[in-house]
Structure 1
Amino acid sequence: MTSECVAESIPAGYKQTEMGVIPEDWQTPTLGSLTVLMTNGFVGTATTHYASNDNGILYIQGYNVEENSFNFHGIKFVTEDFHNAHMKSCLKGGDLLTVQTGDVGLTTIVPESLAGSNCHALIISRFDKRKSFSAFISYYLNSKPGRSRLKLIETGTTMKHLNVGDMLHFTVPLPPAIAEQEAIAQALSDADALIESLEQLIAKKRQIKQGAMQELLTGKRRLPGFEIKRGYKQTELGLVPEDWECVESAVVVTYFGGNAFKSEATVPNGVRWLKIANVGKRKIMWNEISFLPSSYIREYQSYLLQKGDVVMALTRPILDGELKIAKLTSNDLPCLLNQRVAKIVTKHTANLNFIYYELQMSRFVEAMNEAMAGTDPPNIGAKTLGKILLPLPSTLAEQEAIACILSDMDAEITMLEEELEKSRSIKQGMMQELLVGKIRLV
């Protein structure tokens, strides 16, 4: 492409830079020219200086850093003596913390509430407030273009690493007015606030659903029309209503295994091949897609899955304490069932949706874990699954009523999750437009 063509493709009022096309009045300063301090957090072994949270100083590490946020899982504290001996890594409100090793380039802003904390092996950037608004820089470093460019200055082979010296020379696109930087950061912060509120609401709805499952699937709470008439009885599963049964799952469920399709049969396009890797927690995951010839739809009709079918993994079936089980939607079809994945088929005395929720209960998962003890990889068969006990309302009507309540809760959570994904997508679009000046706010 000639330079004339490149020039013609740049809109009026914009210019080409190493970070792409930006407004002509935007600058491209180095981080070193914008900061009054850029240094490392403490590098070395601090474990002998750990203290209790009652009398210690908060000690932030790379795993506590999230995009423009923090998590405090596994947070550590250090002694005041250690802190005083390493004041270089004492944090102030507005500082940026960038992960040096691990999730390289991930950046967050230190809020005033964390001022006075110390940190370990993080790059601390303290900006001259007359030149730049640190939140704007943080959003740029966390953007796709920012992270991509940071990868270009990584060092190391097995363990990638960011050096302060390289970060000092890293350039960023910057509006000339602090007011514009603040306006952009505020717009993205508002998007973050919406995302966070949706995440919190989803977490709350999931907790409510878990509580409902614990009560409804054990008979502790009965729905209207199914009230307790004869009290409770003691079983191997604990107390259950007198009018419920405790049965081996094989009495009400058939675990229909998939076919051992050959890897040589894989084709570039055709019918989707549902494998163990595609079964997530309550969701079919198509991150890794393999295809079988479309002709297999006719040849292997008994393995062709339908909308509403429930499948579970038989190898490595538990992830983070939860069963890898999912219900198929129209978006998952057509697909063929592979070996080591089982389709749940219920008999006439059981409702499929009720069983779908029963199999997710911790007692069932714990029984599976015990049955798989010693297997490598963790592995379970239909015969073993069939011996695990399930509590079962004696009428299909009660099973259906319970499943309906839980299905409605799932539908609400799914709707909120879709709204969350949409909000995240909108934010990504905003970052791509605002952080390079394609859209101007002031």
Structure 2
Amino acid sequence: MGKEVNEVKEGYKETEIGVLPEDWEVVRLGKVFEEVDRRVNNVKNAASLPVLSLTKNNGIIPQTERFKKRIATDDLSNYKVVYKKELVYNPYVIWEGAIHILNRLEAGLVSPVYPVLSVNKKVADAYFFDFWLRTPSAIKAYSRYASGAVNRRRAIRKTDFKNIDAPLPPLHEQRKIAYVLSTIQRAIQLQDKVIAATRELKKSLMRHLFTYGPVPVDQIDRVPLKETEIGMVPEHWEVVRLREVADFTKKPRGLNYSGNIPFIPMELIPIGRVNIQKYIIKPSSEISSGVYCEQGDLLLAKITPSFENYKQGIISQIPKPFAFATTEVYPIKARKDFLEILYLFYYLLIPQVRQDIAGKMEGTTGRQRISKSVIQNYLIPIPPLSEQRQIARFLITVDKKIEAEEYRKSTLQSLFQTMLHLLMTGKVRVKDLEVKEDALRQ
């Protein structure tokens, strides 16, 4: 007879929640967690504890960290006290991942509507379940049990939560699984810090370059400055209107392109990126309302829903010598004897410049536009071309560093998701992994 398609390999068994290692159990969450209900008015000195927020991605954090201030009511007497390694979840949005173990603080206060549960330390590791309770299979179980027609008002009953089935590896293996996942998680957090630090470096570098030019920091006192309409700039720089060094491109007369061509809609123009790498292919017959742009043109949005969504980018990776873009942008072409387009790109990314341009928009709040004349007459500092290119090169180097660090972060995030699945299903075993006892976060 042929081999069974669903045959379970040696050392594993079929369970209610899928194939698991033979030495793992399947238990209901009610066997792992027990609800505790401590109110502020019943716990000595509890009112002095920090008020906490339950977040989807950042766990349980101080409310002041999330909102920059405390937003809880003055009367905290009915708030619940939670201690480290205890579980808190929001029954109304639990399927969005609003379920975490408290691990950053020793104690705090949470909303009265949140159940607080302690873990049975004899059989379960709190940090193992902190990871498992946000796995796709757990989220699916919450959605299955949740009741209510309106998505944000659906709630999971406590009895249903306790009846959810979960895998239960031996306790020592739970701790090692949590250790591996925590190690990857810490690496992701470290990447966040590296990315944030590099972004701050870029901000400082931009302030320096657009004030003193491409000179070392210890030589800025040798750069004579002058006062201009746009502030202090080096004496040998000029201040000109953008139309004096750049052209606003139009579709050339007589251009008769047929077939399929690259088209760049508004939603594919990246925010603060140098390259537009995504586009769609459209028949030329459908591009009658598009604006013509060539490789190297800068696209400046004329519509800005909000300051944060202010968009601009450089077209540099299109498969044709020209493309068309949404009419909601101005294509700007540098006059190469006067302007390096990447210098202009970075200048327009300066927060004060973006804010200034956004402040010149006209129209209703929802559909404000920047007029072509405002952009054409916008004053910009113009160093010699060699300095413009140096400034652009410095900033491109930092941008590449940021992109490299972001790629490392995305790689780590993919690794985390892969390992989360493999470890929680026992497809990868770590029971024999050598880990120092004090590293297992007991």
Q: How does the TM-score come out when normalised to structure 1?
A: 0.80
Indicate how the Cα distance of structure 1 residues 368 and 301 shifts in structure 2: closer, same or farther if over 3 A, else same.
closer
Q: Partner of 1:156: helix, strand, or coil?
A: coil
Cα deviation code 1:375-429 (max 9, x no counterpart) = 3323223322222221221x10011111111111111111111111111111111
2:87 matches 1:99: no
Between the aligned partners of 1:273 and 1:418, the Cα distance in structure 2 is 27
Between the aligned partners of 2:225 and 2:26, the Cα distance in structure 1 is 73
2:393 matches 1:401: no
Aligned partners of 2:93 and 2:155 also within 8 Å = no
Counterparts of 1:55-70 in structure 2, within 5 Å, are: 56-62=48-54, 64-68=55-59, 70=61
Partner of 1:26: 24
Aligned partners of 2:291 and 2:327 also within 8 Å = no
Q: Cα distance, 1:153 vs. partner?
A: 2.5
Aligned partners of 1:309 and 1:327 also within 8 Å = yes
Aligned partners of 2:51 and 2:108 also within 8 Å = no
Between the aligned partners of 1:352 and 1:337, the Cα distance in structure 2 is 18
Partner of 1:47: none
2:244 matches 1:232: no
Indicate how the Cα distance of structure 1 residues 68 and 216 shifts in structure 2: closer, same or farther if over 3 A, else same.
same
Match of 2:183 among 174, 180, 190: 190
Structure 1 unmatched runs, 5+: 43-54, 260-266
Aligned partners of 1:314 and 1:341 also within 8 Å = yes
Q: Partner of 2:160: helix, strand, or coil?
A: helix
Q: Cα distance, 1:59 vs. partner?
A: 1.6
Structure 2 unmatched runs, 5+: 41-46, 253-258, 432-442
Q: Partner of 1:350: helix, strand, or coil?
A: coil
Partner of 2:101: 109
Aligned partners of 1:59 and 1:118 also within 8 Å = yes
Between the aligned partners of 1:273 and 1:114, the Cα distance in structure 2 is 55
Between the aligned partners of 2:405 and 2:316, the Cα distance in structure 1 is 17
Indicate how the Cα distance of structure 1 residues 6 and 122 shifts in structure 2: closer, same or farther if over 3 A, else same.
farther
Partner of 1:364: 353
Identity %: 22
Aligned partners of 1:70 and 1:108 also within 8 Å = no
Q: Partner of 2:360: helix, strand, or coil?
A: helix
Indicate how the Cα distance of structure 1 residues 124 and 324 shifts in structure 2: closer, same or farther if over 3 A, else same.
farther
Aligned partners of 2:214 and 2:391 also within 8 Å = no
Match of 2:314 among 308, 319, 327: 327
Counterparts of 1:370-409 in structure 2, within 5 Å, are: 370-375=359-364, 376-393=366-383, 395-409=384-398
Indicate how the Cα distance of structure 1 residues 231 and 206 shifts in structure 2: closer, same or farther if over 3 A, else same.
same
Q: Aligned letter for 2:161? A: M
Number of aligned positions between the proteins:
406
Between the aligned partners of 1:422 and 1:240, the Cα distance in structure 2 is 42
Counterparts of 1:25-174 in structure 2, within 5 Å, are: 25-37=23-35, 56-62=48-54, 64-68=55-59, 70=61, 72-74=65-67, 75-76=69-70, 82-83=75-76, 85-86=77-78, 89-102=80-93, 104-111=96-103, 113-119=105-111, 121-158=113-150, 159-163=152-156, 164-174=158-168
Aligned partners of 2:24 and 2:167 also within 8 Å = yes
2:199 matches 1:206: yes
Indicate how the Cα distance of structure 1 residues 286 and 274 shifts in structure 2: closer, same or farther if over 3 A, else same.
same
Q: Cα distance, 1:339 vs. partner?
A: 1.7
Cα RMSD, aligned residues only = 3.6
